[in-house]
Structures are given as C-alpha cells and as structure tokens.
Structure 1
Amino acid sequence: MRIGLVVDSACDLPLEYLQRHEITVLPITVRIGEAVLADHRDEQATLHFLDTYIAQRGAEAETMPFTVQQIQDLFLQKLVIDYDYVFCMTITSSRSPIHDNAMQASFAILNDYRPVRAAAGHDTPFALRVVDTQNLFGAQGITAVEAVRLRAAGEGAPKIRARLENLALYTQGYLVPRDLYYLRNRARTKGDRSVSLLSAALGSALDIKPVLHCNRGETSPAAKIKGFDLAVQKLFEFTVKRVESGLMTPTVCLSYGGALAEMRSLPGYENLRLACSANNIELFESVMSLTGMVNVGKGALSVGFAAETAKFDA
C-alpha cells in the first residue's frame, strides 16, 4: 500500500526533511498590506518576509489557509493517483479552520476519486484520514515524524492511524514569546481575548515572559519567568529532564522566529542538544513558519515532544 503524508505549513519541520520524505505541504498564505507570501516552508523567504514586514506590521497580517476547494483539487489532481491511503495532519482545530476545511474536503474526495484513479490505471480503493494534531508549530512535527517512521517500518494504515491519534493526545507544545504587546495586539486582531492589555503591559514593564503550554487543543500559561533568556533556559532544562526520563517517541522539535544561529546561542540549548544525542533522541530544528511568526511574534521559541505527563517545573 502506498501511504502518503500531508501537513500544513504551520508544521515546523525542516524543508529538507519534508522533501526527502515526500511530505506534501498545504501552504498558508500571509498578507500584510500589499505584500503576499504563500508559506511553502522556504526558510530564506520566511526570514526575508520577517525582516521586511513582520516586525513592523505583523499584528495586522491576514492568514489564509487552503480552502475546501483547494484541498479537494490537490487530492483529486495528484494525491489520489500517487497514493492509496493519505494521512492529513493539521494544526489544532481549536486555533485554525484548516482541520475543518480538510474534513469537509474529504467527503467530496472520497465520493469523486474513483474515475480519477481508474483513468490512471488504479482499480483499488483510496482512503484518507484527517488527523487533528491538537497542537501548534514545533509540536505539530511530532506526529509527522512518527508517521514517517511507521511508514518506513512497513506498518499498515490502521496501525498508523491508531498510533497518530493516540500520540496527538500526549503531544506537549511549549512556546516562549518575546513581545507580549505584539502577542496581545495580534490576538485582538483575530478576536482572541486571551492576552489582556493589562497582562501585556505588566509583563513588558517587568520583563515577565510566559511559558505557554498547548495540549489537546488547549493553550494556557505553564509559568511566568522574568526575562526571555531565563524563560528559554528553564524551558530547555525542563525538556532535558523529559528527555532523560523517557519520551513516547524519540523526537524533540524546536522552532524559532528568526535565524537558527540565534536560537543555538540561547542559554540551555547546548545542554539540550547533548542530552538528545546521549539518549538517542532526534532533534529537529527549523525556522518557525511564517504563520507562526505572524501570530506569536519575531523571536519566539517553540518546543514539542510527546510525554504522558509534562507538568512544567521551572
């Protein structure tokens, strides 16, 4: 059985990895004023857009995910021919319409694929499963990497499906933003009142940075720490502890809202890298998606891994 994998561009994995494993990306388009860029996980294009537009006007950005029709067209023109079963893994449905769009498109795809496959010489059925990763950014990469491993090991679609849906329940995503004013203004633009003006003002005045935690689609502050560097160091130290105590998959994903050289110079990074190496954990590093950066701001750090328990202890 030919198994295909699809993610949206908010999934923070390196472009080289996505290409090498033939993972299809549903791009999310970002518009800031007259500037428009479709995010295809091109790190150089993302960094250029970041330096040119996001720092000044990112809070005003409009993000446009693939529509139901665009997803339907992608499947019927290509994926139903290239594969027999496709897993489409999306950003949490609580923060984006991509999951709902993919679900709506799936009904039409399963109704219309037969003549397309027949014309391509395939007389076997086609199936697809839309998986809500229930997480964001770096943490989205956990399910995608596990899907690649399972496919490479020759596992069948039913086992992969069960594993990915269970794994999503235990994927832990963490985020440290640099600028609470930006986060608050962006949230207000989107109608999200989760970051109040008072908390943003106090946080900026006192240099208090929240460590945000996402699991099962719910996002909440796990800690509040004075100073961005110290918050990042505490998050890296916490991740080292989780690595050493054992993860559900041998994967940690990092993404950063800027050049990776900046991330690698942050306090605690090197200890995390060494801990992953010593414990046979694959460490993925990528520039944060354009979608991620316009929503959480320049210089934010995202960390993802899978663990049954992940109470943050700063």
Structure 2
Amino acid sequence: MRIGLVVDSACDLPLQYLEQHEVSVLPITVRIGEAVLADHRDEQATLEFLHAHVAERGHEAQTMPYTVQQIQDLFLQRLVIDYDYVFCMTITKTRSPIFDNAQQASFAILNDYKPVRAAAGNATPFALRVVDTQNLFAAQGVTAVEAIRLRAAGEGAPKIRARLEHLALHTQGYMVPPDLYYLRNRARAKGDRSVGFLSAALGSALDIKPILHANRGETGPAAKIKGFEPAVQKLFEHVSQRVERGELLTPTMCLSYGGELEGLRALPGYERLRDACASNNVELFESVMSLTGMVNVGKGAVVVGFAAEGQKFTA
C-alpha cells in the first residue's frame, strides 16, 4: 500500500526533511497590507518577509489557509493517483479552520476519486484520514516525524492511524513569547481576548515572560519567569530533564524559532538540550518558525515540542 503524508505549513519541520520524505504541504497565505506570501516552508523567503513586514505590522496580518476546494483539488489532481491511503495532519482545530476544511474536503474526495484513479489505471480503493495533531508549530512536527518513521518501517494504515491519534493526546508543546504586547494585539485583531491588557502591561513592565503550554487543543501558562532568556533557559532545562529521564514516547524533539537559527542556538540552556538529545538517541529537529506562527506569536518566539505523558512543569 502506498501511504502519503500531508501537513500544513504551520508544521515546523525543515523543508529539506519534508521534501526528502515526500511529505506534501498545504500552504497558508499571509497578507500584511499589500504584501502577500504563500508559506511553503521556504525558510529564506520567510526570513525576508519577517524582516520586511512582520516586525512592525505582523499583528495586523491576515492568514488564509487552503480552502475546502483547494484541498479537494490537490487530492483529486495528484494524491489520489500517487497514493492508496493519505494521512493529512493539521494544526489544532481550536486555533485554525484547516482541520475542518480538510475534513469537509475529504467527503467530496472519497465520493469523486474513482474515475480519477481509473483513468490512471488503478481500480483499487483510496482512503484518507484527517488527523488533528491537537497542537501547534514545532509540536505538530512530532506527529509528522512519527508518521514518516512508521511508513518507512512498513507499518500498515490501521496501525499508523492508531499511533498518530494516541500520540496527539500526549504531545506537549511549549512556547516562550518575547513580546506580550504583540501577542495581545495579535489576539485582539483575531477577536481572541485570552491575553488581557492588564496582563500584557504588567508582564512588560516587570519583564515577566510566560512559558505557555499546549496539549489536546488547549493552551495556557505553565510558569511565569522574569526575563526572556531566563524563561527559555528554564524551559530548556525542564525539557532536558524529561529527555534524560527517558520519559519521551518517541525519539523526537522539535524546536522552532521566530528568526535565524543562530539566535536559537545562542540561547541559554540550548547546549544542554542538544547534548541531552544526542546522549539519549533523541533526534533533534530545528527549523525557522512558519510565517503563520511568527505573525501570530511574534518575532523571536521559541517553541519546543515532544511527546510524553503528564504535563507537570517544574519551575
């Protein structure tokens, strides 16, 4: 059985890795004023757009995910021919309509694929599964990497499906945003009141940075630390300890950063995390944060994703 994999461009994994393993990307288009860029995980294009537009006006951005029709067209024009079963893994449905769009498109795809496959000389059935990763950005990458590993190991679709859906429940995403005012203004632009003015003002005045946690579609503060770099260091230390204790459910650690990766690698605690992963046979993936991620959480944000049971953060 030929198994295909699809992610959206908010999934923070290196483009070279996705291309190497033939993972298709549903691009998300970002518009800031008259400037428009469709995010295809091209890090150089993302950084150029970041420096030109995001830093000053990113909170005003509009993000436009693939529509139901665009997803349907992608499948019927290519994926139903190239594969027999496709897993489409999306950003959490609590933060984006991509899952719902893909789910709605799947009904039409399953109704219309037969003549397309027949014309390509294939009369066997086609199936697809839309998987809500229940997380964001680097944490989405954990599910995608596991899907790639399982497919390479020759596992069948039922086992892959069960594993991915189980893993989504236990994927832990953490983020340290550098600018609470930006986060608040972006949230307000989207009609999200989760970051209040008082919290933003207090946090900025005292230089308090939250360590945000995402799991099962819910996000909230796990800790509050004075200073951005101390907050990142505390996060990296926490994650390093979980790696060193052998608590990860998969040998995967995903990091993404809202800027050049040299900035990520210079942060305190990074070397310990890198070394902990290397010593415990955990593969470390680093990528520039998606353009969608940066316009939503701000330049310079740090995101970490891994799979482990339990959510306790020790500050």
TM-score, normalization by structure 2: 0.99
Equivalent position of 1:72 in the other structure: 72
Specify the code of the residue in structure 2 equivalent to 1:6. Answer: V
Equivalent position of 2:281 in the other structure: 280
Specify the code of the residue in structure 1 equivalent to 2:285. Answer: F
The residue correspondences of 1:1-314 to structure 2 (distance < 5 A) are 1-246=1-246, 247-314=248-315
Please state how far the C-alpha of 1:310 moved relative to its aligned partner. 2.8
Render the CA deviation track for 1:4-51: whole Å, top value 9, x for unaligned.
000000000000000000000000000000000000000000000000
Please state how far the C-alpha of 1:267 moved relative to its aligned partner. 0.1
Specify the code of the residue in structure 2 equivalent to 1:274. Answer: D
Specify the code of the residue in structure 2 equivalent to 1:148. Answer: I
* Other structure's SS at 1:125 match: coil
Gaps of 5+ in 1: none
Q: How many residues of Structure 1 are paired with residues of Structure 2 in the alignment? A: 314
Aligned counterparts of 2:187 and 2:124: Cα–Cα separation in 1: 46
Specify the code of the residue in structure 2 equivalent to 1:106. Answer: S
Identity %: 81
Gaps of 5+ in 2: none
Aligned counterparts of 2:99 and 2:21: Cα–Cα separation in 1: 22
Aligned counterparts of 2:54 and 2:78: Cα–Cα separation in 1: 34
TM-score, normalization by structure 1: 1.00
CA RMSD after TM alignment: 0.4
Specify the code of the residue in structure 2 equivalent to 1:275. Answer: A
Please state how far the C-alpha of 1:245 moved relative to its aligned partner. 1.7
Aligned counterparts of 1:288 and 1:270: Cα–Cα separation in 2: 20
* Other structure's SS at 2:310 match: coil
Aligned counterparts of 1:245 and 1:160: Cα–Cα separation in 2: 26
Aligned counterparts of 1:300 and 1:220: Cα–Cα separation in 2: 16
Aligned counterparts of 1:295 and 1:312: Cα–Cα separation in 2: 24
Aligned counterparts of 2:52 and 2:197: Cα–Cα separation in 1: 26
